[in-house]
Amino acid sequence: MKLKLHEISKSFGPVKANSNINLTVDRGEILGLLGENGAGKTTLMNILTGLYKPDSGKILIDNKLREFHNPREANKNGIGMVHQHFMLVPVFSVTENIILGEEPTNRFNKIDLENAKNKVLKISSEYKLNVDPDLIIEKLPVGIQQRVEIIKILFRDAEILIFDEPTAVLTPQEVVEFFEIIKNLKKTGKAIIFITHKLQEVLEICDRINVLRRGKIVGEEYPKKTDKKKLAQLMVGRKVNLRTSRKKMEQGEVLLEINDLSILSDNKEHVLSNVDLKLHKNEILGIAGVQGNGQTELIEALTGLRSVSSGKISYFGKEYKNFSPRKIHQLGVRHIPEDRQKQGLIGDFSLTENSILNTYYEEKFSNNITLNWANAKIEAKKIIEKFDVRTNSENISANKLSGGNQQKLLIGREMSRSINLLIASQPTRGVDVGSIEYIHNQIVSARNKGIGVILNSTELEEIIALSDRIIVFFEGKVIAEFPSDTNPNIIGLAMAGEN
Amino acid sequence: MKIFNYLGNYFSNRETFQEIIVIPVFATLLAIFLGLLLLIVSGSSNEIALKALIALFYGSFGSLSAISETLTAATPLIFAALGIAIGFRAGLFNIGAEGQIILGGMAAVIIGFSFQLPFFIHLILILLAGALFGALYAFISGWLKATTGAHEVITTIMLNLIAYRLLDFFLRIPSVQKEGRNDPISKSILDTAELPRILYFLDPNLRVHMGFLIAIFAVLIVYWLIFYTTIGYEFRAVGKNLEASRYGGISPSVTIILAMSIAGLLAGLAGASQIAGVLGRATPGFSAGIGFDAIAVALLGRAHPIGVLFAGILFGALIAGGRQMQVSADVSLDLITVIQALIIIFIAAPVLIRKLFPWIFK
């Protein structure tokens, strides 16, 4: 099938989320849709899948005008979408998940699982997806769960497949496998739209790239005739420095030392076992690994959010274990949490209120009874100015800022005070390219000033770009350590547990 | 609607103006309209409905005595709803105001009849006793939540039931029960413990008492507490985002216990103010569902102290006006309950209000 969007526009109040968008994707073609957060990618796809109605414009499938009022109608017309966050019921089996909403029934209105299972098996083998229809979703790795989502839309006979940031949750190896699957789908004549903000991936897999900025298509490129620099410039609207310059530095003295650290989960399983590591001044230690291999727990333990079962942590040579978050903060440890909306900021609080989240009790902001809002305001303004937070007022609530600006506010709050150790977790997740550049520079300059940095990221590219030393977590253990100039493929293998 | 925009700017720092004022106002108007429609649908004539509407307004704001009745009914609602609002701010749903009112009221009765004290001191003591016992009773729920994770909705409901039975028991204690009476009724508090009527000099029958002034003072204090103090910041942080407040070094347990206790303190004051300002003694059911109406008031006031003040006066007006309606239009007081319920439904479904009056929310 051939999909054509003609002059699609959609506004939310004064905001033009999409204006006059023209886009086509043909059968057997992979179209990359590249754009920063807030560029209008999601709105466009929601129009395409029937969640929003466009203000104007037409959707044509095989040159016939179509209109969808809900996702089901879009489905019937052959459009299927794999969302970034999977829509699966964890306790259901693969087959049960796939038929959910369209359960095939027999004469007695009983669900015909057997029949459905066979169809799942057939799809699975046709596209080399290799999924066992009887397994329970929550026991499957993320990469397989994603394949279940793919089967789900193929089960509904989708011919136009939309993938929203499909690689965000995958390991490098899973990404390779995922690309194979996409290529297979392409061979069988499916039309594919691949939404992402990762430049490398569109260059690698797409036949054609459309770049979206501020609701408009600002460029159409072909992978063979373009490069990362050019794409980034189109995406952001200005020149972007993709690689942070980082000069070699001598390691300083030991700042943080962890010996034989173990953490038990609530049901007494080891989420972290016998971890040893050292961090020096003037050093960025990158923690690579697929999410859920103990990195989060280590960071929570270091920041006082989780208690440690056994082992030793010393900081400047002094015992540092199971301290409260406040005490740790007072020692000059700054934490950029992995989920800024869940942990680092309070969305409904104003920027002023957020900028004193972990210092509100200090003399500067409080006399123990009342808060000094004047000083808090000054603090907020200082952060906004110094860390380039784009906002017109410090009085608006934090959830009105874009992801990049939220992150800059958070990083600004943590870095604008005296600091010895920076623990940064996913510092650029969901952040636009322009802000990534800025945040990376901040982290490197902190390290140049003598600060020790622990950088936890699932983006291997980010780890390699910034780290002086890289360790890999797998199943709660440190299974490998690499110097900064290691080949990404080797690190990727370690992340998958192969050594 | 330029004025809306102007006021909107004032509110934009804290909450949106729409949420605090516009939606509640329209929810109320719509609820009254539907209530009257219900009256007509159920067989009353148009004249009766009109009469009821006039009586509702006349009985609540139409005369000095009507206003006095409105404010008298509003006083305990404002106290208790302020407490519930603080709970909301800290992410707690305190259903237990009723029980806390009963405990506060019982403490007030004891202090009220058992000591011979000078006027002013006695009054302060009776209020303090009410506040203290309300706070202690709510503390139980806060402490259970902080230490065991027991949900406050469950524990406060259970404590309400226990409070009812405690009151029954209390009223049968020989030293509490009024001499020469067989029915459960407590001794009356002494004159020195009574909250004086503030419009006494105009007409001794105007019942509005000093408790109302204290309630307004409490509104200001709570406003200050929520928005200007360190504790208020902690309450709001925990209520909006528990994980982020932990990250920020706030102890959720301490905050939960404190917020719950302050909520109970205010509900206890509601009980004491009812005893010392209106009732003078305790009877079974003296709490009269104030603790539950106060939940509605807190919701209607959007957990904002100023909102609570106006919502409390509105509910007081509905109660006072409802009585007048019953007398002069012979319409059942239950209609007021229906209107109150409708208000809450509309408040809980702001989208409905936005859809019904789209031109206001442009």
Q: In chain B, pLDDT over 70 holds for what percent of residues? A: 95
Asked if residue A483 has pLDDT above 50, the reply is yes
Instruction: Write the residue in B224, B229, B248 that is nearest to A357 by C-beta.
Output: B248
Question: Which of B14, B230, B250, B304 to mutate: most A Cβ within 10 Å?
Answer: B230
Determine the average pLDDT of the residues in A227-240. Answer: 84
pLDDT of residue A159: 93
Mutation site for B-interface testing, chosen from A331, A343, A406 by largest number of B Cβ within 10 Å: A343
The token pair at B90 is 């800290």
pLDDT for A292 beyond 90: no
Residue-averaged pLDDT of chain B: 91
Label residue B317 by pLDDT band (50, 70, 90): very high
Minimum distance, in Å, between the CA of residue A414 and any CA atom of chain B: 11
Least confident of A34-43, A268-277, A372-381: A34-43
Burial class (CB in 10 A: 0-12, 13-18, 19+), A266: exposed
Q: Does A347 contact B241 at a Cβ distance shorter than 8 Å? A: yes
User: Which band of pLDDT confidence, cut at 50, 70 and 90, is reported for residue B13?
Assistant: very low
Confidence of residue A447 (pLDDT cuts 50, 70, 90): very high
Three-state SS for B10-32 is HHCCCCCHHHHHHHHHHHHHHHH
Residues from B contacting A (CB-CB < 8 Å) are 12-13, 224, 228-230, 233, 236-237, 240-241, 243-249
Query: Are A349 and A341 contacting, i.e. CB atoms less than 8 angstroms apart?
Result: no
Whether residue A325 and residue B12 make contact (CB cut-off 8 A), yes or no, is no
Residue A260 region, left (φ>0) first, then alpha (ψ -120 to 50), else beta?
A: left
Contact A325 B249 (CB under 8 A): yes
Strand (E) positions, A239-302?
A: 254-264, 270-280, 283-288
Q: Is A366 close to B230, i.e. CB distance below 8 A?
A: yes
H-helix or E-strand spanning residue A76: helix A71-76
- Concatenate the DSSP letters of all residues of A312-335 into one string: EEEETTEE--S--HHHHHHTTEEE
Kindly report the number of other CB atoms within 10 A of residue A449's CB atom: 10
pLDDT at B287: 94
pLDDT at B2: 46
Q: Do B229 and A361 touch (CB under 8 A)?
A: no
Q: Which of A329, A345, A349 sits opposite B249 (nearest CB)?
A: A329
Number of cross-chain residue pairs from A and B with Cβ atoms under 8 Å apart: 65
Sheet arrangement for strand A208-213:
A79-82, A160-164, A191-196, A29-35, A208-213, A216-221
Please give the C-alpha separations between residue A433 and each of A34, A200, A216, A470, in angstroms, as whole numbers.
11, 13, 17, 23
- Max avg pLDDT among A389-393, A412-416, A433-437: A412-416
Given an 8 Å threshold on Cβ–Cβ distance, is A350 in contact with B13?
yes
For residue A246, is pLDDT > 90? no
DSSP annotation of B197: B
Q: What's residue A328's pLDDT?
A: 94
**Which fold does the domain A254-495 belong to in CATH?**
Rossmann fold (3.40.50)
Taking a C-beta distance cutoff of 8 angstroms, is the pair B353, B300 a contact? no
3-state secondary structure of A395: coil
The answer, yes or no, to whether residue A238 has pLDDT greater than 70, is yes
How far is it, in rounded angstroms, from Cα A470 to Cα A486? 9
Residue B1 has pLDDT above 70, yes or no: no
Task: Name chain B contacts of A366, Cβ cutoff 8 Å.
Answer: 230
A369 to B229: CB separation less than 8 angstroms, yes or no:
yes
Q: What is the average pLDDT value for chain A, to the nearest integer?
A: 89
pLDDT greater than 60 at residue B266: yes
Cβ within 8 Å, pair B245-A353 = no
Round to whole Å and give the CA distance between B114 and A205: 86
For residues A438-447, average pLDDT = 91
CA distances from B72 to A284, B134, B197 (A): 66, 21, 10
User: At B88, is the pLDDT very low, low, confident or very high (cuts 50, 70, 90)?
Assistant: very high
DSSP A427-459: TTTT--HHHHHHHHHHHHHHHHTT-EEEEE-S-
| Contact between A325 and B240 using a beta-carbon 8 Å cutoff | no
A263 neighbors A309 (Cβ within 8 angstroms): yes
Is the per-residue pLDDT at B22 higher than 50?
yes
Question: Which residues of chain A make contact with B237, given a CB cutoff of 8 A?
Answer: 346, 349, 357
Chain A residue closest to B11 (CA)? A395
pLDDT band at B104 (very low <50, low <70, confident <90, very high): very high
Q: Which of A345, A346, A395 sits opposite B12 (nearest CB)?
A: A395
What's residue B180's pLDDT? 87
Residue B6: pLDDT band (50, 70, 90) is: very low
Q: Where are the domains of chain B?
A: 78-317
- Side chain identity at B44, as an amino acid letter? S
- Averaged pLDDT for residues B61-85: 96
Contact B347, B23 (CB under 8 A): yes
Report how far apart, in Å, the C-alpha atoms of B235 and of each of A398, A462, B78, B241 are: 18, 38, 20, 10
Among the partner-chain residues A337, A361, A371, the one whose CB lies closest to the CB of B228 is A371
Side chain identity at residue B285, one-letter code:
G
Distance from the Cα of A333 to chain B's closest Cα (Å) equals 12
d(CA A373, CA A207): 55
Indicate the residue of B13, B236, B247 with minimum beta-carbon distance to A343: B247
Specify the pLDDT at position A252: 85
Shared fold status for A3-236 and A254-495: yes
Q: How far is A339 from chain B (nearest CA, A)?
A: 10
What is the predicted pLDDT for the residue at A309? 87
- Average pLDDT of A442-469? 91
Q: Looking at A138-152, A211-225, A483-497, B12-26, which range is the least confident one?
A: B12-26
Return the SS3 of A303.
coil
Among A359, A360, A410, A414, most B C-beta atoms within 10 A, so best to mutate, is A360
Please give the distance of CA B232 from its chain centroid, rounded to a whole number: 20
CB contact under 8 A, B228 and A366: no
pLDDT, tens digit (0-9, with 9 covering 90-100), for A120-133: 999 999 888 889 99
Q: Edge to edge, what strands does the sheet with A318-319 contain?
A: A270-280, A254-264, A310-315, A318-319
Give the model confidence (pLDDT) of A371-382 as tens digits. Answer: 999 999 999 999
Q: Give one DSSP letter per residue of B301-324, joined into a string.
A: TTT-HHHHHHHHHHHHHHHHHHHH
Residue closest to A152 by CA, chosen among A202, A106, A92: A92
Nearest to B246 among A325, A349, A370 (CB): A325
| Cα separation, B70 vs B84, whole angstroms | 21
Show the tokens assigned to B118: 């000078």
| Structure tokens belonging to residue A401 | 């800022």
DSSP state of B195: P
Write the DSSP string, B97-130: HHHHHHHHHHHHHHHHHH----HHHHHHHHHHHH
* pLDDT score for B362: 61
Record: fold of A3-236: Rossmann fold (3.40.50)
Residue from the list B224, B229, B249 with its beta carbon closest to the beta carbon of A326: B249
- Closest among A127, A125, A130, A152 to A141, alpha carbons compared: A130
Tokens linked to A58: 């037409």
| Whole-prediction pTM | 0.82
Provide Rg for chain B, Cα atoms.
Answer: 21
Closest-CA distance, B357 to chain A, in angstroms, reads 17
Min Cα separation A363/chain B (Å):
11
- The domain segmentation of chain A, as residue ranges, is 3-236, 254-495
> Cβ of A64: how many Cβ atoms within 10 Å?
9
Contact between B248 and A303 using a beta-carbon 8 Å cutoff: no
Amino acid at A161: L
Return the DSSP state at A121: H
**A499 confidence band (pLDDT: 50, 70, 90):** low
Rg (CA), chain A: 24
Beta strand pairing status for A477-483 and A29-35? unpaired
Chain B positions touching A355 (Cβ under 8 A) are none
- Given a cut of 50, is residue B203 above it in pLDDT? yes
Model pLDDT, residue A165: 85
pLDDT class of A241 with cuts at 50, 70, 90: confident
Q: Do A346 and B228 touch (CB under 8 A)?
A: no
